[in-house]
Structure 1
């Protein structure tokens, strides 16, 4: 483990608020640097999520990380100030907690500083990364290569003002910051009165033509995408810029340029769609006009505003689109007659009124009556029996639906009529691209597990896992969601990151887990008897996840050998991933004499959970559901490095385990042979795990969903605190 230097080269301030889903990536990008002479001051700005806990975790694991938790939320600027106050390094760097620092960046920054005699300021480059995996370098990268000498001032290289004026693309000598008593202000646009004084005041500025930071362009969640009166703060920030110039008259020569930058910034804020509330635009215009009048330099002719797109330009752009569309349609198309008829039929059905009493359900790409959609459906039949329900199921799926429930096959006339007319849509994946969401229709995305592995647009960095998935098509499907269900606040943050859109998160718990939380001794006994498991047997339920890098059903454990080496009285139930489960396969039951039983076709994984004494898994989301039972969980992580390299993960299962984590079969056999799979230490680990990931699973998730979505009730049953919930009995 690296040691903490007494006076590090760099102090890196990382403030965080509401970025649990991104923070680990940010910190890992710093701690994995080849250059190690730094300290990280991670500032929890009283974040409502687990940012503070993550910072504490990293601080406990690496002495270079300092976790600073603020008692109240103070905003990004003041959080940076709090971090600066703790800094001891020669240079200061600021990293936003949803961005990442590229490998080798700190070494390159240190090398450039040394080459240029440790200047007061170093400016380096960045690239924007988008939700669909694209990386676009700063368009003004030429500013970093066009200086006449290695170290300049702003007078010698005024093009520096053309760069994006942010705090995180620079390294600042700490004595320079202290000498000028620089600090960040409160409010939005806090970088403005920091970066302009920094550039104006610095007497030595070095440049580094290297992308050091990936600037994440979030599809939602940025203040630039928020409609708020807080955008008026931009006026206050420029007042601070000119107050700095007023206090230092020798910088008067920069007034005209700063004035033009201010005017352009005001125009940008005003013209950005949705940034200002509609009823605030006129007031904003009045405020900015007064500011511009107050700071107009004598004899200065303001720079002309960039001309918006003219009607002629728009017409030409529209014409080009029409030409492209015409060419595309002119291409020879061979479509089966039935497909053409179905599409016409669907269009006609969409012209008819919605049926407000109709709900359509599906799960796992129409492969069964299962998971969260099935649990919601059962509760809907109980609380709102007047509503009609239809399930989308493949032809070969053999399942007994509740009485009165309709069934349609994907792509049939009945299917297209249903999706055209239904008001409610419930799925744990997505409905196909061809489904058009009509005004008034409501889509609920229930998901199908708490994610350890990367999901959605986060797969852009993992081509093996991404496969043929088109992220643009994915986001179009996500944009249909009205509601997204979460079992814990951790998942809420991950869904916000991996499926960026404007849906409303519902932190209600997973309906499929209701039966686990409310199970009594009779339910546990019934589950064991349904599987014909002998009394006194120790039942291990083995559920490994899918591995993208293999692409086929794979059991990391040699099952026959593993079972032979287990003590007498142990039975292993094996359930393969649903990717490989035949929906037409009859349900499996246990053989009382067998010690290894395939239960991949069993219709209820919840029943398997209730029957098992222990869950053996690897990186499957099954662990998060099973944790509701407070029974032992063993993680067999024999290919952890390969898995997280090819699929990616949101946290390290070794640092936040639900129980023992082993990497070899010998360790696994020894664990069960000695009884070490169920110890007090693992009970404590499991308690931490349950508190984090079973946060909203209290047995009433399905009821909350039905009352909110289908009955329109705003007041739903509150979540029972984790500590007050009963724990289902063990077998």
Structure 2
């Protein structure tokens, strides 16, 4: 008996069908059967299905003699299913790699619930990907099982059939089937979710939901949308026959009204001549099915007042929104004039010689090089008043990003404008907004975000893919405000002066944020280990991949974290830190978040202070991340995984070949990487020699006093001290050496 019966109805999808089937049959988890239903498709679907069945015994094809529609095609496949769980997959969608393995692991973990709800991502015809905006509901459901009554937020998710798997004996016991019609998912999903005694969630993107250029069948203009009323009547009838589910009637009543009004509001769903009739039928059903004593939500009261009232509300709403937009534009124009007057007044006042304004990573908080300079200024120059710019109050409330008591202003606020108009010193690792004027006498200190490997600034003009959405001329105009550019090595000095052809002075200070790495002690990083429950005797491997410019969205999974964690074995912890630009996209939903929840890996992407992550680790595995230049200060082993170096360098551009001048051994495939780890070569004499040469070149001015050098030289006016070389070889203690040689 297979674990999953994957039922795939097919009708006029020959262009997408192979991709769908391959995504299922190529899964690493193979205990499945595929029941493909050819719904009398007039194109080549039937022949494609027969071809797959001929070469894979897990595929069974049913050829229907007439077209019956999506719901009844699914019904046709169910009697042939023998798996523990039913999975209804639409034939133009695809599974993500590792999806079935993640599902079966979660089912085992939760003791085979009735329903497992997983996450999905919308994939667009133009190449974009967007994760389900309510993915948090899956994470908030917890590790165990629940009923819909215990976690009703689960019903806020898209009520479709394909983002769940269903225990077959539960489906058969309850007699669930799909009715004919346009909205066949509605009378399946609501009864299933209302009745399920044990529901579990999987916070992982398991399915790519294809968004066709011309939309799906439900986005076409047709009277078939009237089917929605009959489908909700079926759900109400289901509740009527089961008194134990009566509590769901108010919920279903409101959901029905919302769903129907949503269809009515869409301009491309109903012919204009049919809208009044659709409203009337909806209102009749809404009145007939209203539970006794139920309160009608404000947004649905229009159903009690007729179609004319609905039209008036819509027209009033549109008019109100237009008036609001006009008022906002007028307020903006007035504010702009007042702002220019205020700025003219304030810029006549002298600069405050003790006021320093800081920002990092587009106003995220006290982070990076600016944070190191700020802390050193507090220590050795307390007369200097530091004020941090934060993006909004949400960042201001995060104590990990903005320690309590830190003076701060919110971007765009009146105090922000007053501070930036009077400050003498500006410290940032990205460019300040264009509205920040460079006053004579002010000092702008740009720290950058590390040593560059990939092309930056003006060098991106020859790389149209890498500068997509980036206004290079505007970037250079903002860089014209820099007075000083901090560098950690002479290589960076040359790169920045080429990439940013502006009138600044390069200052050989070293990277302030690396001061803690240069002076690292064996016990540093213990706080990170403790927060994430990493045993003291574990050897920590940090995997830090960067984004790719040759893939829309930037995420390309070059290494399977679950496989790497398994290959490292007992006594090791794999820590994964994605590039910050991928932190809020679908990358983590492709499995990383779930692996973190299960304790397979530690996801450190959200750790605000990357220095702590580096200090807690014993080995860095990366591809082309600039993190390697900082990590070299620790004198701990580094492995480069460069299986797509050619594509990366061609699309982004690189200042040198990292595979020829690497900080350690280079792997061109996962097999080579695994051998380097297992054989002990990662820490041999050649690895040490490569690391030493790399450190000498790229950590040239990092001596642990960079922040002090910035404060004393640029803020206190003292002579520029020369960086003093310090002993750098600080290998991890013997009991934390990484892998034992095989």
Q: CA deviation at 1:410?
A: 1.3
TM-score by length of 1: 0.51
Relative distance call for 1:470 and 1:715 in structure 2 (3 A) is: closer
Provide the residue aligned with 1:685 in structure 2: 690
Q: Which runs of 5+ in 2 are unaligned?
A: 1-328, 737-742
| 1:522 partner SS | coil
Output one character per residue of 1:531-586: Cα deviation in whole Å (capped at 9) or x when no partner.
43213322111111122222424432122222223332221111111123359x9x
Output one character per residue of 1:130-167: Cα deviation in whole Å (capped at 9) or x when no partner.
xxxxxxxxxxxxxxxxxxxxxxxxxxxxxxxxxxxxxx
Provide the residue aligned with 1:372 in structure 2: 369
The separation in 1 between residues aligned to 2:508 and 2:544, in whole angstroms, is 26
Output one character per residue of 1:587-639: Cα deviation in whole Å (capped at 9) or x when no partner.
x9x98982311111112111111110101111111000000011111111121
Provide the residue aligned with 1:350 in structure 2: 347
Query: 1:574 pairs with 561, 567, 576, which one?
Result: 576
- Report matched runs for 1:499-648 at 5 Å: 499-552=500-553, 553-581=555-583, 594-648=599-653
The separation in 1 between residues aligned to 2:681 and 2:729, in whole angstroms, is 25
Are residues 1:699 and 2:700 paired?
no
The separation in 1 between residues aligned to 2:419 and 2:491, in whole angstroms, is 35
Provide the residue aligned with 1:278 in structure 2: none
The separation in 1 between residues aligned to 2:356 and 2:339, in whole angstroms, is 21
Q: CA deviation at 1:376?
A: 0.4
- Report matched runs for 1:219-234 at 5 Å: none
Are residues 1:721 and 2:725 paired?
yes
Q: CA deviation at 1:405?
A: 3.2
Output one character per residue of 1:472-496: Cα deviation in whole Å (capped at 9) or x when no partner.
2222111111110001111011111
The separation in 2 between residues aligned to 1:342 and 1:574, in whole angstroms, is 46
The separation in 2 between residues aligned to 1:561 and 1:729, in whole angstroms, is 25
Relative distance call for 1:675 and 1:726 in structure 2 (3 A) is: closer
The separation in 1 between residues aligned to 2:523 and 2:571, in whole angstroms, is 22
Q: Which runs of 5+ in 1 are unaligned?
A: 1-331
Contact 1:390 1:406 in 2 (8 A): yes
The separation in 2 between residues aligned to 1:728 and 1:559, in whole angstroms, is 25
Q: CA deviation at 1:725?
A: 4.3
The separation in 2 between residues aligned to 1:687 and 1:617, in whole angstroms, is 18
The separation in 2 between residues aligned to 1:592 and 1:413, in whole angstroms, is 42
Provide the residue aligned with 2:437 in structure 1: 436
Query: 1:389 pairs with 379, 386, 389, which one?
Result: 386
Output one character per residue of 1:272-309: Cα deviation in whole Å (capped at 9) or x when no partner.
xxxxxxxxxxxxxxxxxxxxxxxxxxxxxxxxxxxxxx
With 376-385 and 361-370 compared, the bigger mean Cα shift is at 361-370
Provide the residue aligned with 1:399 in structure 2: 399
Provide the residue aligned with 1:324 in structure 2: none
- Report matched runs for 1:133-148 at 5 Å: none
Are residues 1:494 and 2:495 paired?
yes
Provide the residue aligned with 1:466 in structure 2: 467
Relative distance call for 1:347 and 1:579 in structure 2 (3 A) is: farther
Relative distance call for 1:603 and 1:648 in structure 2 (3 A) is: same
TM-score by length of 2: 0.51
Contact 1:349 1:421 in 2 (8 A): yes
| 2:681 partner SS | coil
Provide the residue aligned with 2:411 in structure 1: 410
Output one character per residue of 1:66-100: Cα deviation in whole Å (capped at 9) or x when no partner.
xxxxxxxxxxxxxxxxxxxxxxxxxxxxxxxxxxx
Relative distance call for 1:386 and 1:591 in structure 2 (3 A) is: same
The separation in 1 between residues aligned to 2:619 and 2:732, in whole angstroms, is 13
Contact 1:520 1:728 in 2 (8 A): no
Relative distance call for 1:659 and 1:350 in structure 2 (3 A) is: same
| 1:465 partner SS | coil
The separation in 2 between residues aligned to 1:530 and 1:335, in whole angstroms, is 46
The separation in 2 between residues aligned to 1:682 and 1:489, in whole angstroms, is 24
The separation in 2 between residues aligned to 1:386 and 1:435, in whole angstroms, is 24
The separation in 2 between residues aligned to 1:337 and 1:569, in whole angstroms, is 64
Are residues 1:651 and 2:652 paired?
no
Relative distance call for 1:429 and 1:515 in structure 2 (3 A) is: same
Contact 1:537 1:570 in 2 (8 A): yes
The separation in 1 between residues aligned to 2:729 and 2:621, in whole angstroms, is 24
Q: CA deviation at 1:388?
A: 1.0
Are residues 1:483 and 2:480 paired?
no
The separation in 2 between residues aligned to 1:616 and 1:344, in whole angstroms, is 54
The separation in 1 between residues aligned to 2:330 and 2:584, in whole angstroms, is 34
Q: CA deviation at 1:399?
A: 3.3
Provide the residue aligned with 2:428 in structure 1: 427
- Report matched runs for 1:106-121 at 5 Å: none
Contact 1:342 1:413 in 2 (8 A): no
Q: CA deviation at 1:366?
A: 0.8
The separation in 1 between residues aligned to 2:331 and 2:406, in whole angstroms, is 37
Contact 2:520 2:634 in 1 (8 A): no
Provide the residue aligned with 2:717 in structure 1: 712
Output one character per residue of 1:497-542: Cα deviation in whole Å (capped at 9) or x when no partner.
1111221111111010000111222324455334432133221111
Output one character per residue of 1:209-253: Cα deviation in whole Å (capped at 9) or x when no partner.
xxxxxxxxxxxxxxxxxxxxxxxxxxxxxxxxxxxxxxxxxxxxx
Q: CA deviation at 1:413?
A: 1.1
- Report matched runs for 1:119-158 at 5 Å: none
Contact 2:517 2:615 in 1 (8 A): yes
Work out the number of aligned pairs and report it.
395
The separation in 1 between residues aligned to 2:477 and 2:457, in whole angstroms, is 12
The separation in 1 between residues aligned to 2:336 and 2:666, in whole angstroms, is 51
Q: CA deviation at 1:342?
A: 3.8
Contact 2:484 2:507 in 1 (8 A): yes
Output one character per residue of 1:442-497: Cα deviation in whole Å (capped at 9) or x when no partner.
00000111001011100011011112322322221111111100011110111111
The separation in 1 between residues aligned to 2:448 and 2:373, in whole angstroms, is 12
Provide the residue aligned with 1:453 in structure 2: 454
Contact 2:635 2:729 in 1 (8 A): no
Contact 2:460 2:467 in 1 (8 A): yes
The separation in 1 between residues aligned to 2:669 and 2:476, in whole angstroms, is 40
The separation in 1 between residues aligned to 2:534 and 2:462, in whole angstroms, is 45
| 1:651 partner SS | coil
| 1:359 partner SS | strand
Contact 1:379 1:703 in 2 (8 A): yes
- Report matched runs for 1:144-223 at 5 Å: none
The separation in 1 between residues aligned to 2:525 and 2:563, in whole angstroms, is 29
Question: Following TM superposition, where does structure 1 have runs of at least 4 consecutive aligned residues deviating by more than 6 angstroms?
Answer: 590-593
The separation in 2 between residues aligned to 1:726 and 1:662, in whole angstroms, is 24
The separation in 1 between residues aligned to 2:500 and 2:449, in whole angstroms, is 14
The separation in 1 between residues aligned to 2:632 and 2:521, in whole angstroms, is 16
